Homo-oligomer: A and B are copies of this chain.
Amino acid sequence: MPPMPSPRPLERVAGAHDAAVLAIARRGEPVSRAELAEALAVTPQAISKILARLMERGLMAEAGTLVLGPGKPTTLYRVVPTSRRAIGLHLTRRRLHGVVVDLTGEIIERREQEIGAPPPIPELIPALAAQARELAAQGPGELLGVGLGMPGPVDWPAGVYRGTSTPDPWRGAPIRALLAAELGLPVLLDHDSRAALVGEAWSQPDLLRNAALLLVEDGLGAALSLEGTTVRGAHFQAGEVGHTVVRMDGAACTCGRRGCAQAEYHAALAAGDEAAAARVLATVVLDLVRTVDVDRVILGGRTVYAQHETSMDAIRTALHEGFAAEPWVHVEVMLSTRGTDLIAVGAACQVLEHEYGLPQALVGPG
């Protein structure tokens, strides 16, 4: 996306408040001015002005009244899901999966498409654009843009896919710019696991202040939400836990080193030892929780769906044992609410987040 003129300080206040109201309303239940005033620590009168702005933009609407006792009934407000749309694409080496979602992140329509071998960029971009255009034809609401999630490292500000060490036809391709030019729409390119976490967080904003999402697809990836912000990292690859060492001098990994979580996981699966594989996952999660101290862990990815009971049990047991001496630590382990659409939905939600999410900085050209 082109760099915008940085908003004026007072616009940032207004924007932050608008985003906060939207975040609360997104949970689904109609809200009253009083609740919002409480949550934002402003006067009800300020909420009136904030809601006026949001209704002006069509993002929110009145939703009836509620009589609680004597006095004038409370007016309730809700988001207007159909007011905006975003497209999310999930690209892997084998598949192209896309969705359109409404403002609340609910799926309007989905597309799935197998791609034989990774096509070269000049073929890939039109294929992505074609699916995006099909999806763009669906549903009402202003179309905000396209989010694209893919595995592997990404140069986020540049929108360039960095690629892996193996021969990779997409390596170094400025995918974001190419797709944006092709479609004439804003495009956001990010990591698959980060997209997935943003997607989960979009529909349950305050639950995931400190959460980790573990994505088990071909590789092992994670994303972190800490103190309310989804961490991107200095090199835009925070959460790449696949090559974290869980057994020094252990199984050889494709990366040339030994005992990487990913290598141990696949070695165990190859040996048919599902329990051992689950134990590796559990160790990764335990280390993750110890390191960043999240209170929620979300499991996602095609590979875990098959044996999610085993994995979740192993993880819960490991957490229980590992924190036995620290009874104040409670970690909720849950399965992604989005199934196999997880990453595509997340990619779409990144667009929503970009437009209507809480800004992270109150100061500077953020």
Contact = CB atoms under 8 A, between A and B. Distances in A.
Interface stretch (A13-21, A126-134, A140-148, A182-190): A13-21
Interface stretch (A54-62, A112-120, A334-342, A356-364): A356-364
Nearest to A229: B227
A326 B286 CA distance: 26
B244 A328 contact: no
Interface string A197-226: 000000000000110000000000010101
B13 A9 contact: yes
B248 A291 contact: no
A236 B363 contact: no
A295 B358 contact: no
Contacts of A270: none
Contact of A235 (B165, B293, B358, B360): B293
Interface string A315-328: 00000011011101
B238 A291 contact: yes
Contact of A165 (B238, B246, B292, B325): B325
A245 interface: yes
A75 interface: no
A295 to B, nearest CB: 4
A209 B227 contact: no
B287 A244 contact: yes
Contacts of A255: 322, 325
Copies of this chain in the oligomer? 2
Contacts of A358: 362-363
A137 interface: no
A111 interface: no
Contacts of A321: 257
B248 A279 contact: yes
A294 B234 contact: yes
A243 interface: yes
A332 to B, nearest CB: 10
A284 to B, nearest CB: 9
Contacts of A245: 246, 283, 286-287
Contacts of A361: 228
B359 A234 contact: no
Given A40-B364, A224-B292, 17 more contacts: A9-B13, A9-B42, A9-B46, A10-B13, A12-B13, A227-B232, A233-B292, A234-B295, A237-B326, A238-B293, A239-B291, A240-B293, A244-B291, A247-B248, A287-B291, A288-B291, A358-B362
